Amino acid sequence: MLFCTILTEFCGLLAQTINGIRSYAGPFGKSDRALIFGLWGLAVAIYPQWMQWNNLLWSIASILLLWTAINRCRSVLFMSAER
């Protein structure tokens, strides 16, 4: 999960390095991650038995993060091909 988060942010910064424009493409950006982490923390604090769903939630989040990284890298390549 941490690797996917760092990879996603790195791909966004890579766009800024190549094109001068920061890429925010993707389905699971920083604000979405903050919302999921916050809501999940609150849900687990109120309903501790929901901890059994941690692996499923973080697996889905990791897949969305990888998808976001791919979208950001594609946007970089697409923008640089247009130039």
Interacting residues of 22 by C-beta distance below 8 A, sequence separation 6+: 12, 13, 15, 16
Global pTM?
0.86
Give the start-to-end residue ranges of the domains of the chain. 2-82
- Which pLDDT score, from 0 to 100, does residue 83 have? 66
Q: What is the pLDDT of residues 64-73, one digit of tens each?
A: 999 999 999 9
| More confident position, 23 or 45 | 45
